[in-house]
Chain A
Amino acid sequence: MSAITLDNITKTYNKGSVLAVDKATFEVAEGETFGLIGPDGAGKTSIFRVLTTLLLPDGGNATVAGLDVVKDYQAIRNCIGYMPGRFSLYQDLTVEENLRFFATIFNTSIEENYALIKDIYVQIEPFKKRRAGKLSGGMKQKLALCCALIHKPVVLFLDEPTTGVDAVSRVEFWDMLKRLKSQGISILVSTPYMDEAALCDRIALIEGGKILSIDSPANTVKKYPGKLYAVKSSNMHLLLQDLRNYEGTHSCFTFGDSMHLSFKQEAEDNISKLTAYLTSKGHQQLEINEIDAGIEDYFIRITEKANG
């Protein structure tokens, strides 16, 4: 049985005038960590809210743990854990009080499921008397994850759990997710960070409410058409402009400390022609290397196709 299934789920707002999710269809297998990758406003949160029974879909069917999100919403609420995108705990309650409160309303106790949250909770336990509002971003996320896990959910929904969290805490957070996966919990996680996508079992790329691609991270990047080059020079500002003006360029984006470039047509002499062109423009210390496309490269490639 699949942990989550979506079949042509559509969600609109303002009486149908805003299309947030457009016929989304995917499946999350039991025990799988499934990533929903896309920029802000792509429709990720809407999908989460439909699946967590907070919003009714306008069309399509969806199930969570084999239960229908519309008909069996009460039963679903008993067996899922949900961590909304915004920090949603009581800021004026202490760490321990928050955890105890959520444990109680889910009809359990901290002691009963301590084993499940132990790895995470020990990190925030020194601050258990501190009010949640006074915690750092990373701590807040850990506490929120503890609260979402305390009743041993079958499916865990994490809506942008690492947004606004420092780089170290992000890495720690994903380590924790890996451990949860080993406990057999199915996880649907969304993120705007492409580098985190690689840590999921499978990912769905979403943009403008549409699911563009569903595959493992490794297969997703293999789908990149053609070759991709990283270009560097002594004058990076001019480089972007010159590359974009070059007649053979398909697309060029700044990516970290280099430019990612793809050509309109793959040809043997592409590199030599480009080198000559850039040298004539006065660029020095040129470095042009073929690289493997990342998820972000693929995402940009397919969204520009989708946008025309």
Chain B
Amino acid sequence: MRNSALRQLFAFVQKEFYHVFRDRKTLLMLFGVPIAQILLFGFLLTNEIKNAKIVVCDYAKDYGSQEIIRKIEASKYFNVKKASLSHDEIEAAFKSGEIKMAIVFPAGFYNDLSHLNKAQIQVIADGSDPNTATTLTSYLSSILRDYQSQEMAQNNMPYTIVPEVKMLYNPELLGAPNFVPGVMALVLMLVCAMMTSISIVKEKELGTMEILLVSPLKPFLVIISKTIPYLLISLMNLVVILSLSVFLLHLEIKGSVLLLFAESTLFIISSLALGLLISVNAESQMSAMMTSQLSLMMPTMILTGFMFPIENMPWVLRMISNIVPSKYYYTIVKAVMLKGLGFSAIWQETLILGFITFVLVMLNLRNFKTRLA
């Protein structure tokens, strides 16, 4: 008996793969959309910035600060205006949008550097435009690193210049470097939920469901068979997204890749279950499509936290965001991929995600109709 169930499962999964690979539109959806998304987000949102207007307030006016300013001026990224402004004047300049960044050298900069081996400069960036702000600060950091290595070679002394970066308006820079985890959550949700949401309702529309029902096939076998192909395809998608991020966008995966895949699998299963749930209850492919777009895509975009910070939302939306699986997945991916944290840091999110998945799978089994009406 178990053997025959396995044979049924295999035949069903094989059939699902035929459906996917024989429909060019589906294929394009499955693989084209993720690639387009990651490239769009990757290149459009983190575009290179040239000739950004910045202001430099040099209170040190010594050998060190002059040298660094010269290097900044030489860079193609910055358009430097020298001025001695008070903090109020700097903020006014930000508000009027005149400048993108301000750099302040405190008095006695080079003195500190050469005697204490450690000096600070203050960097103020416009956090309301987080992409530009991070890009500019990273450009500046590389200039500072460059200067330090040059000084070290000359004096054989371990200098450190600590740029004290201060983000105005959006101190945590939500959204900026984190788009890859966000896109991963969005794309996986899209592919899994949308594709599966039409898969069962399609059988209803074509009438094949009638024959499947009038067969010894068990409901859970139908559900599992509908899940497996999309799980595999989604994992392939994940490989594509991660490869693009690493090789094209030069994003480093800091944590364990294995852990990342394990957590992704969990998230994929929850998305698939959500899609199936829509499919089991929908009347037509059209309505399944609409439902999954309205009830999955919007919450994923808005309530996951990668486009808009959840902390700033009204409490109703914050409460709703707690049942959005992608929110937990986003946190997990950020922790593993960007911060390099291990399982101990994300076990809570994993547990919640696991629980949501379990509930969804159970709902599917309960809602699967063994008859037509």
Contact = CB atoms under 8 A, between A and B. Distances in A.
Given A90-B208, A92-B23, A54 B15 contact: no
B245 to A, nearest CB: 34
B207 A101 contact: no
Contact of B11 (A55, A80, A86, A105): A105
Contacts of B14: 101
Interface in A133-150: 147
Interface string B181-220: 0000000000000000000000000111011111111000
B370 interface: yes
A68 interface: no
B211 A82 contact: yes
A246 B213 CA distance: 55
A292 B33 CA distance: 68
Interface string A93-111: 1000100111011110000
A54 B208 contact: no
Interface in B214-257: 214-217
Contacts of A105: 8, 11-12, 212, 215-217
A283 interface: no
Contacts of A89: 208, 211
Interface string A37-49: 0000000000001
Contacts of A82: 210-211, 214
B180 to A, nearest CB: 35
A73 B369 CA distance: 13
A186 interface: no
Interface residues of A, number: 30
A55 B373 contact: yes
A53 B207 CA distance: 15
The winner among B11, B207, B211 for most chain A CB atoms within 10 A is B211
Contact of A54 (B11, B12, B22, B213): B213
B250 to A, nearest CB: 41
Interface string A55-99: 110000000000000000110011010101011111111000100
Contacts of A10: none
Interface string B1-20: 00010011011101100110
Contacts of A49: 372
A52 interface: yes
A84 B211 contact: yes
B208 A88 contact: yes
Interface string B351-373: 00000000000000000001111
Given A100-B11, A101-B15, A55 B215 contact: no
B210 A107 contact: no
Interface string B24-55: 00000000000000000000000000000000
B188 to A, nearest CB: 25
A93 B19 CA distance: 8
Contacts of B23: 92
Contacts of B7: 104, 107
Given A49-B372, A55-B372, A105-B216, A90 B8 contact: no
A92 B211 CA distance: 16
Contact of B207 (A77, A80, A86): A86
Contact of A92 (B18, B213, B371, B372): B18
B371 A90 contact: no
Contacts of B217: 105
A124 B312 CA distance: 65
A77 B215 contact: yes
A56 B369 CA distance: 12
Contact of A93 (B4, B8, B15, B212): B15
Nearest to A79: B216
Contacts of B4: 107
B372 to A, nearest CB: 4
Nearest to B206: A88
Nearest to A76: B214
Contacts of B373: 55
Given A90-B19, A92-B22, A101-B15, A84 B210 contact: yes
B214 A53 contact: yes
Given A77-B216, A105-B8, A106-B215, 7 more contacts: A54-B372, A73-B371, A91-B206, A93-B15, A104-B7, A105-B12, A105-B216
28 contacts: A53-B371, A54-B210, A55-B372, A74-B216, A82-B211, A88-B206, A88-B211, A89-B211, A90-B18, A90-B206, A90-B208, A91-B206, A92-B18, A92-B19, A93-B15, A93-B18, A97-B15, A100-B11, A101-B11, A102-B211, A104-B7, A104-B10, A105-B8, A105-B12, A105-B212, A105-B216, A107-B4, A107-B8
Interface of A: 49, 52-56, 73-74, 77-78, 80, 82, 84, 86-93, 97, 100-102, 104-107, 147
A-B complex: 5 closest residue pairs judged by Cβ atoms:
A88-B207, A104-B11, A54-B372, A82-B214, A86-B207
